[in-house]
Amino acid sequence: MKSAIVIGCLAWISAAAGQERVGHALGEFEYLPASNGLLITAPHGTYDANTPQIAAGAARQLGAGYLAAWRFATPDKVRLNVNRPTEGALLACSQEPQTARAKEVYEIYRGLVAKAAPGLRLYVEIHGNANPKTAQNLEVATVGISAAQAQAVKESYAALLAQVRGQMPAFPELALLIEPVDKIYWGAACAKRLGILGKQAGVHFEFPRGAREPHTVAGSAILVAGIVRRIMETP
C-alpha cells in the first residue's frame, strides 16, 4: 500500500509567470526550463534564505534553466536534503539517514533537473550559511572544474566584485575561495559523495547571510552569473 507521501507526489503542476510548479506532500518545486545546458538551482530554498532569488536572478542573466525547492521537511521538522537521498542538516555524510521519503524526493529532483536543462553542461547550486568563520567569504565548491578555470575566475573576481559594489555599496566585500585552487570550509562533501553534484560538472556556491539580504541578493546574482560565464569561457 502506497504511503500518503507517494500518493501526494506530483499532486499538481501549474504554470505561473513562465514557471512550472510541482507540488509534493512534503514540499514544492518550481522550475523554468532553458536550452543552453546551464542550470541554476536552490535545493534548500526555505532553509537557505533568499537563495531562490539569487538563483532566479542569475538564471535570467545567463539565459539558464532555474530550479528551486521549498520546505521539504519531515513532520518532525527534519530537513530532506533534496539534492541527495538523505535527511538531516549539519551532519557527517555517514550520519545522514537515507530514507524512502528522502530518496523519493531526490528522484523527483533529478527528473526536474533533466527537464529544466536538457543537454546539461554545468549544474549550479546556490546555498547559504550563517557561520561567523566564513562570514567574509564567498566559497565555491566544484566538480569537474579545472585549476585553470578556477584561476581564471579568481583573476576576474576583483573587477566583478567592484562592479557589484559600485551598483550597491552596501554589498559585503567578500573574499573568493574556489576549488580546486583554494581550500574551503563548505566543500559540499555529502552532495558530491551521495547526490547529484557528483554526477556531472558542477558548482556549489555558499553565500554568507550578508550577501543574502533583500537588498544584496541582486548583487549575489551578478556574482554567480559572472563566475559561471568565466568558467564556461575558459578552456
pLDDT at 161 over 90: yes
Would you say 216 and 171 are in contact if contact means Cβ atoms under 8 Å apart? yes
- The helices-and-strands tally (H runs, E runs) of the chain is 6, 9
3-state SS track over 106-164: HHHHHHHHHHHCCCCCEEEEEEEECCHHHCCEEEEEEECCCHHHHHHHHHHHHHHHHHH
Q: What is the pTM of this model?
A: 0.90
Q: How confident is the model at residue 48 (pLDDT cuts 50, 70, 90)?
A: very high
Share of the chain above pLDDT 90, in %: 81
Query: Tens of pLDDT along 81-111?
Result: 999 999 988 778 888 999 999 999 999 999 9
The per-residue pLDDT for 93 is 87
Residue-number span of the structural domain to which 158 is assigned: 4-233
Total count of domains within the chain: 1
Query: Tens of pLDDT along 164-222?
Result: 999 999 999 999 999 999 999 999 999 999 999 988 999 999 999 999 999 999 999 99
CATH of the domain at 106: 3.40.630
